[in-house]
Structure 1
């Protein structure tokens, strides 16, 4: 059980929650879930305990006994107490979001609040935030970590996206490029031109499938990469028959 105190590693607050599921007191639902074998339903919380005077009372923003403020920000739906981070409650998301509210809009198809810079400028995937992050496999919709929208429309935690870019550039779900690779493709053009293939491969053509635009192309095989003839991306793959043929020639 968490000690009664003002806040935890997750939130700054002056009260603890009484978990409706087990009756124990925790600073927040995350502290509860990390200790127990079940989850605390934030929406069902009915009582809190003041960190200052220890009075147990109905959930509210101020202590009815000593008038302490439990949270600069308080949501009566989510029962969220925290320092003021320009939070706002989104009825369509069903939870609180970090704002400011005027910098975000709710995309009805994605069912998620997104930055205004993405309004009319992103690919919608229905209920995309209701899927777990494909990197860490943790929930995205209710996560305290912000989501990053890839050009393909899939979501990753922002921190997972940053880690992904250290090892690769493709969406782990659909394999499309996760950022603008144009400059790198032009560098690869030069490397391919300056790296002749061995004689046995110089006249070898293969069929490739582009992960970025889904077009098929017949191109000359090159070990460094093969460029899509439609969108000029090197994010391509050999089809199964060509892969076997190349492997046999390499032996």
Structure 2
């Protein structure tokens, strides 16, 4: 078993021209000892964890989940680590296995500048402004003073949204509607759409590259589409329908405001008479007829 002095001596130190600098380098505080020399692609930290589910050692829970859910693993054996059940960590400096705590019982090193005993979470990069949310039950980043927890949505939002956000029950307790990653515990940036549904920010950008501007969950427009609606007005005005279709009327449902309208049929798009949106779908027959719910649907022009 390495002693604290041996663990310090084994760390790579920068060369110094003066003996006084060399002397000071040997008296690094436990909070700084070995910092930035250990960790993984997910976190900088000075410890590893022993997974309670499979009794194997990993750098962090994400490393475990990546390894245990890979294509090489039998589908029946794939699993995520139960993060709150982690009870053993291994110091990266002296390899001492011990109960979960911030400072190593053997060499005294701080295993993570940010430490949460509830989540069994360590991280040396405190620039993320981590904090633990009791209502979420997990640690978040961005600073506690900058966020509030919405009880109905079941997640933390920026305080900039506190007065005007649209509540959707358990808004982040589901998979991203584009990539299907579980949003509540994702490490990637999340955005809240005007309709209140949540999605990865990069997934929204990918949608926009393919000219998709409606929520994948409820089909409401995700941004101001008024300029496009004006262009569609011009296209429709310059594209008259053949004589046989000029008196054809159809019922439409607006995805944005939810109002049913009876409008003149056009092959390009149909405009909502209530909000002027072209984000509409054609419904068969009279909307007052309950059978219209199972009718054929024509999606909006995007």
TM-score normalised to structure 2 length: 0.75
Among residues 9, 12, 16, which one is paired with 2:48 in the alignment?
16
Among residues 100, 114, 117, which one is paired with 1:59 in the alignment?
100
- The reply on whether 1:6 has 2:49 as its aligned counterpart is no
- Structure 1 residue 64: Cα displacement: 2.5
Structure 2: gaps (5+ residues) = 1-36, 69-77, 287-294
Give the alignment's Cα RMSD to 1 decimal: 2.0
2:208 and 2:234 map into 1 onto residues whose CA distance is 23
| Counterpart residue number, 1:226 | 270
- Who wins on radius of gyration, i.e. which is larger? 2
Bigger mean CA deviation after superposition, 30-39 or 234-243: 234-243
CA deviation map 1:34-63 (0-9, x unaligned): 222222111111111111111112212222
Bigger mean CA deviation after superposition, 104-113 or 67-76: 67-76
| Counterpart residue number, 1:119 | 162
Aligned length: 241
- Structure 1 residue 241: Cα displacement: 4.6
Bigger mean CA deviation after superposition, 160-169 or 234-243: 234-243
1:182 and 1:112 map into 2 onto residues whose CA distance is 31
Among residues 26, 29, 40, which one is paired with 2:58 in the alignment?
26
2:38 and 2:217 map into 1 onto residues whose CA distance is 41
Q: Contact 2:251/2:284 (CA < 8 Å) preserved in 1?
A: no
Task: Name whichever structure is richer in strand by fraction.
Answer: 1
1:198 and 1:69 map into 2 onto residues whose CA distance is 77
1:215 and 1:33 map into 2 onto residues whose CA distance is 45
| Displacement over 6 Å in runs of 4+ | none
Among residues 109, 133, 148, which one is paired with 2:191 in the alignment?
148
